[in-house]
Amino acid sequence: MPTSKLVNQLISHTLKSNKLECIIMLSQNTQINSFKFIFIMAVVFITTSTLFIVFVIHGFIDYKQKKVELIKLANTYSDIVIQQLLYTDKLNHQAEIIASLKSVEVIENSLIFSIDQQSNQKQFILSYNKVNALPISLNNNVIKNYTSPNFNSDGLIFCKESKAYFICLRLNLNSLEVAILNSFYIKLMTLLGSIIFALFLAFYLQKKLTTPIQQLANIFKYIAKEKDYSIRAPNQNIDELNSLSNSFNTMLDRIEHHLKQQKNAEAEILKLNQNLEEKIYQRTEALKDSNKELMDAVSRLHEYQNQLVENQKMASLGDMVAGIAHEVNTPIGLGITASTLMIDKLTNIIEVLEQKKLTQTHLVQFLNESKENLDIIYRNLHRSAELISSFKQLAVNQVQESNQKLKLALFLNDVFLALKPTVKQHTLKIECENTLEAVIKPGIFQQIITNLVMNSVIHGFENVDKGIINIQIYIQEQELIINYKDNGKGISEALKKKIFDPFVTTKRGKGGSGLGMNLVYNLVTQGLKGTIKVESELGHGIRFIIKIPQ
């Protein structure tokens, strides 16, 4: 790691923690001694390893060269002997030629074979063995294994063949061994001398490097122990160590300045803490009062919200009662009119009878008119009875909140019959099988449908002459699906995100409470444990998808 980078890390660590653990680590004598030992051993190991590798490589190359020289020597003597043998065919002259090899110190044995030109067979002629040298024995079967120089423990066996003669020489390896040993001794002495020089150089460099570091470590130790940041490290002779000393002195300047700032800050904090508990107590009391007021406001808000929800329910019920009253008044009024007319006709026929002027024509006319009036009275009274029965059933459903098995098509017809005066000119369509039954809370289901229809009439069909409401109901995967949609004006994307929030309305100040859809959401999710989702675009109506588990 570069020295400047190490110093920057030391400065950053010290300014953050206000401690000098890094200096303490550098100031340990055991680590300084370990550094000395590691430095010396590193220098000696590198030097020794390098020289040893060089000596091994050189020795291997030297050994190969000596072997090549010995082979060249054997080849030279073989050529000389073969050339001399070619000039004589007398055995005594050949023996003298072979005997002349005893002057060559490295040659231990020699064998000469003649070569038959016809059969190419080799026939032994002469041999030479140096005194105390072991003889060698070669025949035609063994000679073929020595066509190239062969080194073994007995020496070098070298064979060479000409047209007329085949000569084999065995040379000892004494000269090779002596040369290798001499080279080894020289290299060993060189290695030992290099190690001694490396040790001397390592001790010298270690002293030049570690003495200034030891001084710096002592300064670090003293500063860490005494907390005296006014002391400064001296200049060093080595540029890197001098840069380290300067950086350390800069760090001490910053630490000293930082400590002064910290001391001043601590004095200010101590001064502020004297009144802190009183301020905290005062603010805590004020916070308690504010929290109490907030809880009271939230409680009042919940009460107001619940009251508005109940008012919304009662308003819906009031609208339904008003609609029922309007529907009932019409047939009852027609029945009263028909019965009054029939009373007048009956009075007239009695007068005619008393005057004894009753004719068959008068009686037939009276009977026909009476039948017509009685039909009118019966139809309107029957209509009134149906309306009252439907209203009674809806009222009972409002009270009964337990689950009941309902025929949905029939139930919705009763609900729409009650809503007919409110819907007026708009069209209600139901897509539901007559045999479809579901287990549901009737009062909650009626309230949901009523609020959705009223929402379409009041908001969706504003400025729309003939609106269409379509309700599709079916069961799929153990869920009752209610797909409600109208062709009204729809809602914006912003309003769609908060349509189920309480007090959200487009009729603010015009009678809208903003609780209708919130009530629907609560009835679906809490009362029926279902889900509701809305889809809408401006100018393209609105769609509610309700899923209720079965």
**pLDDT tens digits along 220-258:** 888 888 887 788 878 777 777 788 888 888 888 888 888
Which of the residue ranges 67-81, 82-96, 171-185 would you say has the lowest mean pLDDT? 82-96
* 469/544 Cα distance (integer angstroms): 12
Most confident stretch, 56-60, 383-387, 438-442: 438-442
Q: Beta 155-161 vs 165-171: how paired, if at all?
A: antiparallel
**CA 471/CA 415 separation, integer angstroms:** 13
Band of residue 15 on the pLDDT scale cut at 50, 70, 90? very low
Determine which of 177-181, 310-314, 403-407, 486-490 has the lowest per-residue pLDDT on average.
310-314
Q: Which residues pair with 470 in a beta bridge?
A: 429, 485
3-class state of residue 357 by DSSP: coil
**CA nearest neighbour of 170 among 182, 187, 183, 153:** 153
pTM: 0.36
Instruction: Report, as an integer, the average pLDDT of 478-500.
Output: 90
As a whole number, mean pLDDT of residues 125-146 equals: 72
**Strands 150-152 and 165-171, how do they pair?**
unpaired
Q: Which CATH architecture has domain 401-550?
A: 2-Layer Sandwich (3.30)
* Rounded Cα–Cα distance for residues 105 and 87 (Å): 25
DSSP state of 540: S
CA distance 471 to 473: 6
Question: The tokens of 2 are what?
Answer: 């570069």
Averaged over 493-499, what is the pLDDT?
A: 86
The helix/strand/coil state of 464 is coil
What tokens does 160 get?
């060479």
Rounded Cα gap, residues 328 and 196, in angstroms: 128
Q: Quick one: pLDDT at residue 314?
A: 59
Domain 50-182, architecture per CATH: 2-Layer Sandwich (3.30)
Residue 540: pLDDT band (50, 70, 90) is: confident
Vertex 442 angle, CA 437 and 443, to 5°: 165
**What's the pLDDT score for residue 100?**
80
pLDDT of residue 539: 84
Q: Reduced to 3 DSSP states, what percent helix, strand and coil does the chain have, rounded to the nearest 5? A: 65, 15, 20
Structure tokens belonging to residue 400: 């009964």
Lookup result for tokens 């010298």: 204
pLDDT top residue among 16 and 275: 275
Rounded-to-integer distance, Cα 494 and Cα 49, Å: 81
pLDDT single digits (tens) 518-533: 888 988 998 899 999 9
Per-residue pLDDT, 402:
74
Tokens representing 138 are: 């070669």
CA-closest candidate to residue 415, choices 380, 373, 440, 387: 387
Taking only the tens place, the pLDDT of each residue in 157-200 is: 888 888 778 888 888 887 777 878 888 888 888 888 888 887 78
Whether the per-residue pLDDT at 384 is higher than 80: the answer is no
Buried b vs exposed e over 485-496: b needs ≥16 C-beta within 10 Å? bbbbbbbeeebb
Mean pLDDT (whole number) for 54-75: 84
Give pLDDT tens digits for 502-517: 767 766 545 455 677 8
Delimiting residues of CATH 3.30.450 domain(s) in the chain: 50-182
Q: What is the pLDDT of residue 92?
A: 76
Which contacts (CB < 8 Å, 24+ apart) does range 52-56 have?
A: 52/191, 55/187, 55/190, 55/191
Structure tokens at 51: 């020289």
- Mean pLDDT for the stretch of residues 414-427: 82
Lowest mean pLDDT across 20-34, 194-208, 310-324: 20-34
**What is the SS3 assignment for 86?**
coil
C-alpha to C-alpha distances, 455 to 316, 429, 462, 521, nearest whole angstrom: 11, 16, 10, 13
Where residue 300 falls among pLDDT bands split at 50, 70, 90? confident
CA distance 10 to 387: 93
Residue 261 has pLDDT above 80, yes or no: yes
Report the pLDDT value the prediction gives residue 11, as an integer from 0 to 100: 42
> Once rounded to an integer, what is the mean pLDDT over residues 402-416?
86
Q: What is the DSSP string of 88-151?
A: ---HHHHHHHHHGGGGSTTEEEEEEEEE-TTT--EEEEEEEE-TTPPP----HHHHGGGSS-EE
Under 8 Å between Cβ of 535 and 522: no
**What's the pLDDT band for 32 if we cut at 50, 70, 90?**
very low
pLDDT digits (tens, 9 = 90+) for 322-351: 556 666 777 787 778 878 888 888 888 888
The lowest-confidence range among 142-151, 156-165, 404-413, 481-490 is 142-151
**pLDDT of the residue at 180:** 80
Report the alpha-carbon distance of residue 455 to residue 449 in Å, rounded: 10
- Within 10 A of 189 (CB to CB), how many other CB atoms are there? 10
- Could you tell me which residues come within 8 angstroms of residue 91 by beta carbon, excluding any fewer than 6 positions away? 125, 126
The percent of residues in the chain predicted with pLDDT above 70, rounded, is: 82
Which of 284, 251, 339, 180 lies closest to 23, judged by CA? 251
Specify the pLDDT at position 318: 59
Strands 155-161 and 404-407: unpaired
Cα dihedral 448, 454, 460, 463, rounded to 10, equals: 170
Helices and strands of the chain, counted as H and E runs: 13, 12
The DSSP-derived string for 480-539 is: EEEEEEE-S----HHHHHTTTSTT--S-TTTT--S-HHHHHHHIIIIIS--EEEEEE-TT
Q: What angle do CA 239, 240, 246 make, to 5 degrees?
A: 85
* Confidence (pLDDT) at 480: 94
Q: For strands 122-129 and 107-115, give the pairing.
A: antiparallel
| Predicted confidence (pLDDT) per residue in 428-474, tens digit | 899 999 889 999 988 889 889 988 998 888 888 888 888 999 999 99
The token duo for 292 is 């109490």
Tell me how far apart the alpha carbons of residues 283 and 289 are, in angstroms, rounded to a whole number.
10
The predicted model gives 256-280 an average pLDDT of 83
Read off the pLDDT band of 546 (50, 70, 90). Answer: very high
Lowest average pLDDT, out of 113-122, 289-298, 394-403, 471-480, goes to 394-403
Q: Is 270 exposed, middle or buried (0-12, 13-18, 19+ CB in 10 A)?
A: exposed
In tens, the pLDDT along 466-480 reads 899 999 999 998 999
Contact, 490 vs 542, CB < 8 A?
yes
Mean pLDDT of the chain: 78
What's the pLDDT at 304? Answer: 66
Q: Which residues pair with 533 in a beta bridge?
A: 545
CB distance 507 to 312 below 8 Å: no
